[in-house]
Amino acid sequence: MMINVCLLGLGRTGMVVAEQLLKTTDFHLTAVFAKPHSPKAGAPLAALVNCPNDIIVHSADDLAAILETTEVNVAIDFTAPEASLKNVKIVAEHGVNVVIGTTGFNKMQIYELKNLVQRSKIGLIYAPNISLGINLLLSVVKTIARLIPHYDVEITEYHHRNKKDAPSGTALKIADAINRAKGYRTGKYTFGRKGPELRDSNEIGIHAIRAGGIVGVHQVLFAGESDEIEITHRSYSRLVFAEGALHAAKFITNRKGFYNMEEVLTESSEPEAPAAPLSLTELAE
């Protein structure tokens, strides 16, 4: 089945997602939306990415009107939290499922998203960490934290100079996952480190570097008295986010409910039910 997708946000990540959607035969990019009053709105998408000249970028102000006349199965959003929430409310009112790649939502906004899913009975993937590799890192660090809970943990993340939120949502998610794996409901986080105070044994240090064009690096250090383990995930290009977004879009088509990316990957990797063994008669045939 061809999946009709609308894309919200034509920034650095949105443009790569658009390119990937246009390259694959499983998806049909039915509409793209830029920020209202952006010079991108009204221009051909071909001015931004390599594609045929007939796709015109809409303003997000026209989202409701376009959804009324265009068939869309899934909306993918890579914008900013306030904008995303506004867009997703409109998308949900039209019964369209959503993949949210946007990061930086506060707890209240996430609560609002969950309510929206319940009220509108749509499917929504909230994926502040959309890449497969980061989700594997999460799974590995949880195992390490369970096995060596007494090791000190420090997380360092590196991103480009224009990233608006710090530390990254992914760094916080890694810290939360480590705490839960150790059996704590909440944890003490130290953001950056300055001054003479000694670290608590259970605190997690979180450090954010913003420099140049770094796509994304997350390093998790587990240090004991005599050795250390460091797990690092490096994104080479934004393609990794586009691949995750397309995977998520496929997953959420025809599903309802609120999902995170870990659930998407776990459920997609579950082996299909083994074929029933052949009967003696079938074997003889």
Residues with a known catalytic role? 159, 163
Helix axes 261-269, 132-147, angle to 10 degrees: 90
Determine how many CB atoms are found less than 10 A away from the CB of residue 52: 9
Nearer of residues 38 and 260 to ligand NAP, judged by Cβ: 38
Q: Please, which residue, 80 or 148, has the CB nearer to ligand NAP?
A: 80
Binding mask 215-244 for ligand NAP (x = CB under 6 A): --------------------------x---
Shortest separation between residue 63's beta carbon and ligand NAP, angstroms: 8
Eight-state DSSP code of residue 44? B
C-alpha pair distances (Å), 262 with each of 119, 138, 143, 167, 275: 24, 9, 15, 20, 27
Task: Supply the minimum distance, in Å, between the C-beta of residue 132 and ligand NAP.
Answer: 10
> What's the alpha-carbon Rg for the chain, to the nearest Å?
21
Alpha-carbon gap, residue 268 to 72, rounded angstroms: 23
CA atoms within 13 A on the CB side of 163: 24
Over the range 5-42, which residues count as b (16 or more CB within 10 Å of their CB) and which as e?
bbbbbbeebbbbbbbbbbeeeebebbbbbbbeeeebbe
State the binding string over 49-68 for ligand NAP (x if CB under 6 A, else -).
-----------x--------
Tokens of 228: 């250390």
Count of residues that interact with ligand NAP, criterion CB under 6 A? 27
Nearer to ligand NAP, 130 or 204 (CB): 130
Which of residues 141 and 222 has its CB atom nearest to ligand NAP in the complex?
141
Q: Among 64, 5, 67, 75, which residue's Cα sits nearest to residue 36?
A: 64
Region 84-143 residues binding ligand NAP, contact defined as CB under 6 A: 87, 101-104, 127-131
Q: Cβ of residue 111: shortest distance to ligand NAP, in angstroms?
A: 18
CB closer to ligand NAP, 76 vs 145: 76
Per-position x/- string for 12-31, each x denoting binding to ligand NAP as judged by CB under 6 A, each - no binding = xxx-----------------
Task: Please compute, for residue 60, the number of CA atoms within 13 A of its CA located in the half-sphere on the CB side.
Answer: 25
Rounded Cα distance between 152 and 225, Å, is 9
With CB under 6 A as the contact rule, the residue among 27, 78, 126, 259 that binds ligand NAP is 78
Among 3, 5, 8, 21, interactor with ligand NAP by CB under 6 A: 8
**Binding to ligand NAP (CB under 6 A): which residues in 171-190?**
none
Site of interaction with ligand NAP (CB under 6 A): 8-14, 33-35, 38, 60, 78-80, 83, 87, 101-104, 127-131, 241
